[in-house]
Amino acid sequence: MLLGHSLQDLMAPGRCVACRRPGSLLCPQCADSLARPRNDGAVEGIDRTLAAWDYDGAARTLILALKVGGRRAAAGPPAAAMCERARAVGIKAGVVTWVPGRRGDQRRRGFDHAEVLARLVAAGLGLPARALLRRRGPARLDQTTLGASERWINLHGAFIARASPTPVLLVDDLVTTGATASSCAGALQAAGAPGVEALVACRA
């Protein structure tokens, strides 16, 4: 569901992705409407989970433009907000990585949206960005089709990680139940990461 926005709307240049006004990708009025979650919440296996926005309104439309519309430029506003959030609280990470997307989604879109976010965040925070995670085993079910408990079962052992001698900042677009982030954190810690913090654009 695209909240009244067609795929053409999400891809159209020269208009705000949220209200469709001519001009910038995100107009000042829609930017002002973005809300930060009142509670960042806790995710199993992660030292701290930080979210820039609630997954609603203009924030949701931006993420859809990135993931569904394939607009790389839509990663700019959330990445900037994520950097601002990370600087405000301070992070311990020495490296940034991302939740690797499903291969079929990457082929369809032409890029990994979480990687685009992570590299922008890393540049903004002055940290290196490295591909520390990959998916393993047979293709898993699409998380969006599953209930909360099914999501945790579906992603058990779904990721394998490269070693990191420094704490890791794990980047993704969205956290819902935390199952994906928790599975990634478990793999990173099993590979020797001394700590994992998560930074996402939105909390659902």
The string of pLDDT tens digits covering residues 27-86 is 999 999 998 887 777 888 999 999 999 999 999 999 999 998 888 999 999 999 999 999
Do residues 70 and 8 make contact, with C-beta atoms less than 8 angstroms apart?
no
Instruction: Strand 95-98: give its sheet, edge to edge.
Output: 48-54, 196-203, 168-175, 95-98
153's CB contacts (< 8 A; 6+ apart) are: none
Give pLDDT, residue 188. 97
Q: Is the CATH code 3.30.70 the one for domain 37-203?
A: no
Residue ranges of the chain with pLDDT lower than 70?
1-13, 137-156
Closest C-alpha to 200, from 166, 167, 170: 170
Give pLDDT, residue 88. 95
Integer Cα distance of 79 and 84 in angstroms: 9
H or E element in which residue 55 lies:
none
Per-domain residue ranges of the chain: 37-203
DSSP state of 114: H
Read off the pTM.
Answer: 0.85
Residue 170 backbone zone (phi > 0: left; psi -120 to 50: alpha; other: beta): beta
Give pLDDT, residue 41. 73
DSSP state of 74: G
| Beta-sheet strands, E only, within 70-138 | 95-98, 133-135
Give pLDDT, residue 191. 97
